[in-house]
């Protein structure tokens, strides 16, 4: 971050959103390489790329999008509804796991809790499909070919379990909060709304209030729908709700995957989720969502519990289930990093690295994530 002409007077009488004005009459205080808008998993991963490459930046975050904070944070290389491998799972994990390990070392805090995920079989056919998938998709390194017929107190299973390896959970809430505190201390984060109409764009630079930058990356989650530079992209919001329960009689150190997931948090607390609501685009928990989870949970565990928390967020996803990464067609210094859906923990580090290499080293983006696919 480079200081320019001394900025003695604070900007006063800033116009309200919806009016256009110019900041050219003000002296710029801060010069940076990048502005990042949004600090969820995507924005955080891109900030890490910038730090690793000695690029200066400032992040704007208005805390309007909660999906990264309330997410289960599970990484799982297999789609257990169909027993098929997640898109580019092996490649993504090779980037993601070292990414989170580095963050743990930097902040001397544990974010990654590794565990086995146990898929509850509902029938003999379910078991047969498990073995078929191992052979068909060559995913024996993820799906255990030895079925688990143990009886776990309080967990329903008439046909046993299938063990999924290489799974775990990133404590996204803790990670994002720790990272925000770090950026605030380094004066790289502003907790405030970003006003698109205050962004002045020229061929070689951007001016936003007291900041001069060369590039800007928008990683706003579902907030992209309000972004005039990228709201033409087919982003779809899928609301998800989870509950946290306290169940002292339930003693499991693995994730149970059935009609809902039951995820151990420690000390007999478990996260249960999640719902999929395609019509409600708010981040407000609902009684309807809670009751849906309670009804589904009745088929998974048979112990008493107390609900201690109820959260909701809108997942930013696309119809083709691929991220939205790329450059604005009209402005070469505006970029987007979005659409990570339900697998942001796995995908974010990879697409952040791809976007950085695209911008700084002119490396072509994977066609499956490039927003040019919608041109």
Superfamily of domain 2-6+25-68+174-234+320-374: FAD/NAD(P)-binding domain (3.50.50.60)
- With residue 257 as reference, give the H or E element that holds it: strand 255-257
- Cα–Cα distance, 36 to 44 (Å, whole number): 9
Global pTM reads 0.90
pLDDT value of position 10: 40
Within 8 A by CB and 6+ apart from 351, the residues are 42, 45, 323, 325, 337, 340, 369
As given in the structure block, the two tokens for residue 363 are: 């490396």
As given in the structure block, the two tokens for residue 313 are: 């967020």
User: In the beta sheet, which residues pair with residue 30?
Assistant: 3, 211
User: Do 347 and 368 touch, CB atoms closer than 8 A?
Assistant: no
pLDDT value of position 8: 37
As given in the structure block, the two tokens for residue 307 are: 């609900």
- pLDDT tens string for the chain (375 positions)? 655 544 333 444 444 434 444 445 455 679 999 999 999 999 999 999 999 999 999 999 998 887 887 788 999 999 998 899 999 999 999 999 999 999 999 999 999 999 999 999 999 999 999 999 999 998 999 999 999 999 999 999 999 999 999 999 999 999 999 999 999 999 999 999 999 999 999 988 999 999 999 999 999 999 999 999 999 999 999 999 999 999 999 999 999 999 999 999 999 999 999 999 999 999 999 999 999 999 999 999 999 999 999 999 999 999 899 999 999 999 999 999 999 998 999 999 999 999 999 999 999 999 999 999 998
pLDDT value of position 6: 41
Fold equal for 2-6+25-68+174-234+320-374 and 235-318: no
DSSP three-state, residue 78: strand
pLDDT value of position 290: 97
Q: Where are the domains of the chain?
A: 2-6+25-68+174-234+320-374, 235-318
pLDDT value of position 190: 97
The CATH code belonging to domain 235-318 is: 3.30.9.10
pLDDT value of position 217: 98
């Amino acid at each position: 971050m480079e200081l320019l002409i001394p900025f003695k007077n604070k900007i006063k009488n800033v116009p309200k959103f919806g009016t256009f004005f110019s900041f050219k009459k003000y002296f710029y205080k801060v010069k940076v390489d990048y502005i990042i808008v949004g600090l969820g998993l995507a924005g955080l991963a891109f900030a890490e790329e910038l730090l690793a490459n000695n690029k200066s930046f400032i992040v704007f975050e208005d805390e309007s999008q909660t999906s990264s904070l309330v997410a289960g944070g599970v990484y799982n290389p297999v789609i257990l509804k169909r027993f098929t491998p997640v898109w580019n799972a092996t490649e993504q994990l090779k980037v993601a796991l070292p990414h989170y390990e580095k963050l743990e070392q930097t902040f001397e805090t544990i974010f990654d809790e590794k565990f086995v995920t146990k898929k509850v079989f509902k029938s003999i056919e379910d078991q047969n499909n498990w073995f078929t998938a191992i052979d068909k998709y060559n995913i024996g390194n993820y799906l255990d070919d030895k079925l688990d017929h143990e009886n776990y107190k309080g967990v329903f299973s008439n046909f046993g379990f299938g063990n999924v390896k290489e799974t775990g959970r990133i404590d996204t809430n803790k990670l994002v909060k720790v990272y925000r505190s770090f950026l605030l201390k380094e004066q790289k984060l502003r907790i405030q709304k970003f006003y698109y109409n205050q962004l002045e764009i020229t061929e070689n630079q951007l001016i936003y209030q007291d900041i001069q930058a060369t590039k800007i990356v928008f990683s706003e989650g579902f907030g992209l729908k309000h972004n005039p530079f990228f709201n033409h992209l087919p982003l779809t919001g899928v609301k998800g709700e989870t509950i946290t329960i306290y169940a002292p009689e339930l003693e499991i150190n693995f994730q149970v995957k059935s009609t809902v997931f039951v995820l151990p948090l420690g000390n007999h607390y478990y996260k249960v989720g999640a719902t999929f609501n395609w019509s409600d685009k708010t981040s407000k928990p609902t009684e309807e969502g809670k009751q849906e989870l309670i009804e589904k949970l009745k088929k998974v565990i048979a112990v008493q519990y107390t609900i201690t928390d109820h959260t909701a967020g809108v997942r930013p996803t696309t119809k083709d289930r691929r991220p939205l990464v790329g450059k604005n067609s009209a402005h070469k210094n505006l970029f987007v990093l979005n659409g990570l859906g339900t697998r942001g923990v796995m995908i974010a580090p990879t697409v952040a690295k791809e976007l950085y290499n695209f911008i700084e080293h002119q490396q072509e983006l994977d066609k499956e994530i490039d927003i040019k696919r919608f041109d």
